[in-house]
Amino acid sequence: MELLHVSIRALVKEIKEEMLDIDPCLFVSSSAYDTAWLAMINPAADSDRPHSSPMFKACLDWVLNNQTEEGYWGECDSHGNPTIESLPATLACVIALKKWNVGNKNTEKGLDFVHGNAEKLLGVNHDHFPRWFTIVFPGMIELARKAGLELAFPSQLNELLSDIFYQRQRILETEELVDGQYPPLLSYIEALPSSYDISGEDITMNLSGDGSLFQSPAATARAFMATGKEECLGYLESLVRRCANGVPPTYPRDEELIKLCVVNQLQRLGLADHFTHEIEANLAQLYRNYNSQGSQAKPRSNPVSAIQLHKDSLAFRLLRMHGYSVSPWQFFWFLKNQEVRARIEKDYEYFSSAMLNVYRATDFMFPGEYELEEARSFSRKVLEKVLFKGTRDNKDNFRSTNLEKMMEHELRHPWIARLDHLEHRTWIEEKNSNVLWVGKASFHRFSTLLTEKLMQLAVADYEFRQLIYRNELEEVKRWSRNRGLSDMGFGREKTTYCFFAIASSIPLPYDSDIRMIIAKGAIVVTVADDFYDMEGSLDELNSLTDAIGRWDASGLRGHSKTIFDALDDLVREIVAKVLQQQETDITIFLQQIWYETFASWLVEAKWS
């Protein structure tokens, strides 16, 4: 046990030194899809004229050097398995390699992955493809074929692929380029078919002040290819300078939100006790920032509302969890914004992740906080709508996504009734525990390095705690056997039950003595209560109660003597520990409390 504890301390030290002092943006994984799009940019004024190397060669080098052993590009889940995001990401990367005629083996390996895994990855999401996928995946298939790459999907996928292309066509026919839907159709400009009419004016009118198109590296890269705008180039150059090791799916990134997500991840994995100083420092700075904003209005624009909702609800939950005094209105501003509420109700699937965080935040509601009651009711209705749609669309073959499973868990099991240690295990085993929030064409995820380190620590810490609990349980069982309480021959044998109930309520790192003393007390209560309820005669009960009052076992025998001796042993143990630690003798107090308890059982027995 000591060796395991030493290795945990060493891993905590390593994480603090190597990871928690670096640029927070490096906590988030790079996007192979977006990096590939920057790698496609031709430095020649005429993009059709061949050139020896791309404008951002570092991005092409990243693509060459970051293919997985399995052949795909893109982040995996927290268990190391490729996700549906890997399909368009891998196609984008092989398109970039094909364009510059490099990495032929990488290209071959990437196409083999797509051909060999498309059926499995698409089958998991059958009938429930996200909007972004139905736009991006067909676009990458078309671009790959246009680049001369041979795509040979299994014949059994023909119907499913046709359905995905049909869904994309419906989106193209029913949505405007920018119509309040978020992310807007124009933000997928790099994946839209060449037949789709997009003018230079459409692009220019929607450029942000930083020169980006909806802060999307891939979309901005395509916008630069189409228009040659200096503003777009400036954004892309700034992006590559800041993110030399692969570009993110969104830029610029909200560093405050990333830090919040790290704190939340530490909490959910059960690692907060190891990073108390770092968590408090981050939350103290966050609290100062929110206070400095005062009553400033939150952004009303729909394009940022989902991320803002995610951030504000997470901030509220963490700040209240750690004892900060925060006003609900500063964080649940959307309740007063009818435009945002209407958008959430219309695009409820896109806002489902944000609404899940809002619902979680309302776990920390005080009596009389009617705005939080309203937020809880509103978010619950949205989540129930998402779950109903998933069940309705998939009928008997409904397969819950991981997000939907999280929603079901939150709605079915009140937070106050859950057990921390089991919640930590659930999150460790959740394969998408590295997901941060929904992006344009993928999830924002923790970087692979951070995920691996935290998961390694979480598993080791969980096993260490479990070992402590098991040792304590064995000690409690041994005490119960030695005192004769396990073999009374009547009533309930609740040794394990009593320890579990106490251990779940008094988690580590509190002293083991506390858990074991209370568990022993619960065992005595269970056995004695059953003795008074069903086994002992009235004479035996009177004798045992009198003996407790005198604290003298003279004249007792059988079960009465066993119960008294076990209780006396427990009281002596408690008194010795308190005397050692506090230099106070509490013998008379404990004896009096136990006498009052047994006397009340005697009254109840007489009534019966």
Q: Contact at 8 Å (CB) between 243 and 56?
A: no
Helical ranges in 347-447 per DSSP H: 352-361, 370-394, 402-412, 420-429
pLDDT tens, 392-429?
A: 554 333 334 577 888 999 999 999 888 888 899 999 99
pLDDT tens, 490-546?
A: 767 788 999 988 888 777 766 788 899 999 999 999 999 999 998 889 999 999 999
Residues 6+ apart with CB under 8 A from 310: 257, 353, 354, 357, 437
> How much is the pLDDT for 53?
82
> How much is the pLDDT for 401?
55
d(CA 315, CA 290): 9
Q: Is the peptide bond before 252 cis (omega within 30 degrees of 0)?
A: yes
d(CA 58, CA 38): 9
Name the one residue in this structure whose structure tokens are 């993009």.
Answer: 47
Q: Contact at 8 Å (CB) between 102 and 369?
A: no
β-partners of residue 443 are: 438
User: How far does Cα 175 stand from its chain's mean position?
Assistant: 32
Q: Which two tokens stand for residue 563?
A: 């119960």
Name the one residue in this structure whose structure tokens are 């790079």.
Answer: 30
Q: Contact at 8 Å (CB) between 449 and 440?
A: no
β-partners of residue 438 are: 443
User: How far does Cα 221 stand from its chain's mean position?
Assistant: 31
d(CA 369, CA 50): 64
Helix (H) or strand (E) holding 60: helix 57-65
d(CA 249, CA 215): 9
d(CA 1, CA 57): 50
d(CA 134, CA 551): 77
d(CA 331, CA 358): 10
Candidates 267, 253, 277; CA nearest to 20 is 277
Q: Contact at 8 Å (CB) between 218 and 37?
A: yes
**All domains of the chain, ordered by start, with CATH?**
29-242 (1.50.10.160), 255-455 (1.50.10.130), 484-607 (1.10.600.10)
d(CA 407, CA 404): 5
> How much is the pLDDT for 217?
96
Mean pLDDT, 10 residues at a time, the chain of 608 residues? 83 82 76 96 65 87 96 82 92 97 96 94 75 94 95 90 93 85 87 89 93 95 95 95 88 89 94 93 93 60 68 95 91 85 86 92 94 95 88 43 82 90 90 80 82 93 91 94 87 84 76 89 94 92 96 94 96 96 95 97 92
> How much is the pLDDT for 443?
79
> How much is the pLDDT for 126?
61
Amino acid identity, position 271: L
Neighbours of 528 (CB within 10 A): 25
153-166 burial, b at 16+ Cβ within 10 Å, e below that, comes to eeeeeeebbeebee
> How much is the pLDDT for 78?
65
Name the one residue in this structure whose structure tokens are 């890269």.
Answer: 221
Dmax (CA) for the chain in angstroms is 106
d(CA 533, CA 529): 6
d(CA 63, CA 76): 16
Q: What are phi and psi of 548, to 5 degrees?
A: -65, -40
d(CA 177, CA 36): 24
d(CA 442, CA 433): 15
Neighbours of 141 (CB within 10 A): 21
pTM listed for this prediction? 0.83
* DSSP secondary structure letter of residue 71: S
Q: How far, CA to CA in Å, does 70 sit from each of 82, 210, 433, 510?
A: 9, 37, 22, 45
Name the one residue in this structure whose structure tokens are 């700075």.
Answer: 285
Whether the CA torsion 562, 563, 564, 565 is positive or negative: it is positive
